[in-house]
Chains A and B, each alone.
Chain A
Amino acid sequence: MTAPRDALISAIDLHKAFGPTPALDGASLEIAAGEVVAIMGPSGSGKSTLLHCIAGITTPDSGRIVYRGRELSGMSDATRSALRRGEFGFVFQFGQLVPELSCLENVALPLRLDGHKRREAERRAASWLDRLEVGDVAHKRPGEISGGQGQRVAVARALVTAPRVVFADEPTGALDSLNGERVMKLLTEAARDTGAAVVLVTHEARVAAYSDREVVVRDGRTREVELMNR
Chain B
Amino acid sequence: MTGPESLGDTDEPGIGPKNLGGADELGRGLTAPGRVGVRRWFADLALGGRLALSGGRESWTRTTLTAVGVGLGVALLLLSAAVPNILASRTERISARDDLRLSQSEIKPGDRTLLVSDFDTTYHDRGIRGRVLRAEGPAAPRPPGVAKLPGSGELVVSPELGKLLAAPEGALLRERLGGTIVGTIGDQGLGGPLEYAFYLGSDTITAGDGGARRIDGFGSQYEREGFDPVLLILIVIIFVVLLLPVAVFIGAAVRFGGDRRDRRLAALRLVGADGAMTRRIAAGETLLGTLLGLGVGAVVFLAGRQLVELFTISDMTVFAADVQPTLGLALLIALTVPAAAVAVTLLALRRVVIEPLGVVRHAGATRRRLWWRLAPSALGLALLTPLIGGVSQTGPAANEYQVAGGVVLLLLGVAALLPWLVEAVVARLRGGAVPWQLATRRLQLSSGTSARVVSGIAVASAGAIALQMVFAGIGAGYTTSTGQDPNRADLQFSLRNPAGHAASEAIAARFRDTAGVRSVTSYTTVYATGTTTPAGPDVPPAAGTVLIAGCAALLELADLGRCADGDVFVRQPSGEPGEWPGPGEEVLFGDSEDPDARRWTVPATAPTVAVRPDPMGNMPAILATPGALPAGDLRAGRTEIYVGLDPARPDAIEYARNTAAGISTSMSIYQLTDRQESTRFTTIRRGLYLGAILTMLLIGASILVSTLEQLRDRKRLLAILVAFGARRSTLSWSVLFQTAVPVGLGLALAVGTGIGLGAVLMAMVNRPVRVDWGSIGLIGAVAAGVVVLVTALSLPALWRMMRPDGLRTE
Closest to A112 in B: B434
B725 partner, pick from A113, A118, A141, A169, beta carbons under 8 A: A113
Cβ of A92 under 8 Å from chain B: yes
**Does the CB pair B445–A100 fall under 8 Å?**
yes
Question: Which label, helix, strand, loop or mixed, suits the secondary structure of the A interface?
Answer: mixed
Cβ of A78 under 8 Å from chain B: yes
Cβ of B800 under 8 Å from chain A: no
* A 83-103 binary contact with B (CB < 8 Å = 1; else 0): 111101010110110111100
B434 partner, pick from A18, A99, A100, A109, beta carbons under 8 A: A109
**Does the CB pair A83–B445 fall under 8 Å?**
no
B441 partner, pick from A88, A101, A110, beta carbons under 8 A: A101
Give the chain A neighbours of B725 by CB distance below 8 A: 81-86, 88, 110, 113-114
Give the chain A neighbours of B722 by CB distance below 8 A: 57, 81
A225 to B590, CA, bound (A): 122
A85 to B727, CA, bound (A): 10
436-459 of chain B: CB within 8 A of chain A: 437-438, 441-442, 444-445
779-810 of chain B: CB within 8 A of chain A: 804, 807-810
Given contacts A85-B724, A95-B720, contact A48 B808 (CB under 8 A): yes
A229 to B444, CA, bound (A): 52
Give the chain B neighbours of A112 by CB distance below 8 A: 433-434, 437
Cβ of A44 under 8 Å from chain B: yes
Given contacts A43-B810, A57-B804, contact A113 B723 (CB under 8 A): no
Give the chain A neighbours of B808 by CB distance below 8 A: 18, 48-49
Cβ of A105 under 8 Å from chain B: yes
A128 shortest CB reach to chain B, Å = 15
A58 to B445, CA, bound (A): 32
**Does the CB pair B730–A48 fall under 8 Å?**
no
A100 partner, pick from B438, B716, B720, beta carbons under 8 A: B438
B799 shortest CB reach to chain A, Å = 11
**Does the CB pair B807–A109 fall under 8 Å?**
no
Given contacts A81-B725, A101-B438, contact A52 B807 (CB under 8 A): yes
Cβ of A55 under 8 Å from chain B: yes
A172 shortest CB reach to chain B, Å = 14
A82 to B809, CA, bound (A): 25
Given contacts A48-B808, A48-B810, A100-B441, contact A109 B724 (CB under 8 A): yes
* B 693-737 binary contact with A (CB < 8 Å = 1; else 0): 000000000000000000000001100111111110010000000
**Does the CB pair B810–A96 fall under 8 Å?**
no
A20 shortest CB reach to chain B, Å = 16
Closest to B11 in A: A95
**Does the CB pair A113–B726 fall under 8 Å?**
yes
Closest to B727 in A: A81
* A 102-138 binary contact with B (CB < 8 Å = 1; else 0): 0001000110111000100000000000000000000
B724 shortest CB reach to chain A, Å = 5
Closest to B13 in A: A95
A58 partner, pick from B434, B437, B441, B804, beta carbons under 8 A: B804
**Does the CB pair B434–A113 fall under 8 Å?**
yes
Given contacts A82-B725, A86-B725, contact A100 B807 (CB under 8 A): no
**Does the CB pair B437–A105 fall under 8 Å?**
yes
Cβ of B431 under 8 Å from chain A: yes
**Does the CB pair A101–B723 fall under 8 Å?**
no
**Does the CB pair B807–A48 fall under 8 Å?**
yes
B444 shortest CB reach to chain A, Å = 7
B721 shortest CB reach to chain A, Å = 8
Give the chain B neighbours of A100 by CB distance below 8 A: 438, 441-442, 444-445
A133 to B516, CA, bound (A): 93
B363 shortest CB reach to chain A, Å = 11
A78 to B807, CA, bound (A): 19
A213 to B445, CA, bound (A): 44
**Does the CB pair B807–A99 fall under 8 Å?**
no
**Does the CB pair A44–B810 fall under 8 Å?**
yes
A100 to B717, CA, bound (A): 12
**Does the CB pair A113–B810 fall under 8 Å?**
no
Closest to B720 in A: A96
**Does the CB pair B720–A90 fall under 8 Å?**
yes
A110 partner, pick from B431, B717, B724, beta carbons under 8 A: B724
Give the chain B neighbours of A96 by CB distance below 8 A: 717, 720
A173 shortest CB reach to chain B, Å = 9
**Does the CB pair A98–B727 fall under 8 Å?**
no
Closest to B442 in A: A100
* A 213-224 binary contact with B (CB < 8 Å = 1; else 0): 000000000000
* A 169-192 binary contact with B (CB < 8 Å = 1; else 0): 100000000000000000000000
A34 to B434, CA, bound (A): 31
A99 to B727, CA, bound (A): 19
A49 to B441, CA, bound (A): 32
Closest to A110 in B: B724
Closest to B803 in A: A58
Give the chain B neighbours of A52 by CB distance below 8 A: 804, 807
A47 shortest CB reach to chain B, Å = 9
**Does the CB pair B717–A95 fall under 8 Å?**
yes
Give the chain A neighbours of B444 by CB distance below 8 A: 100
A52 to B725, CA, bound (A): 13
B98 shortest CB reach to chain A, Å = 67
Closest to A173 in B: B809
Given contacts A92-B807, A93-B809, A105-B437, contact A57 B727 (CB under 8 A): no
Which of A83, A86, A99, A100 has the largest number of chain B CB atoms within 10 A?
A100
B807 partner, pick from A57, A85, A113, A141, beta carbons under 8 A: A57
Given contacts A52-B804, A105-B441, A118-B431, contact A113 B809 (CB under 8 A): no
Q: List 19 A-B contacts (CB under 8 A).
A: A44-B810, A52-B804, A57-B804, A57-B807, A78-B727, A84-B723, A85-B726, A86-B725, A88-B725, A93-B809, A95-B716, A98-B438, A100-B438, A100-B441, A105-B441, A109-B434, A112-B433, A113-B730, A114-B725
Of all A-B residue pairs in the complex, the 10 with the closest CB atoms, nearest first, are A85-B725, A84-B725, A100-B441, A57-B804, A100-B445, A81-B725, A96-B720, A100-B442, A112-B434, A58-B804
Contact surface of B with A, Cβ cutoff 8 Å? 431, 433-434, 437-438, 441-442, 444-445, 716-717, 720-727, 730, 804, 807-810
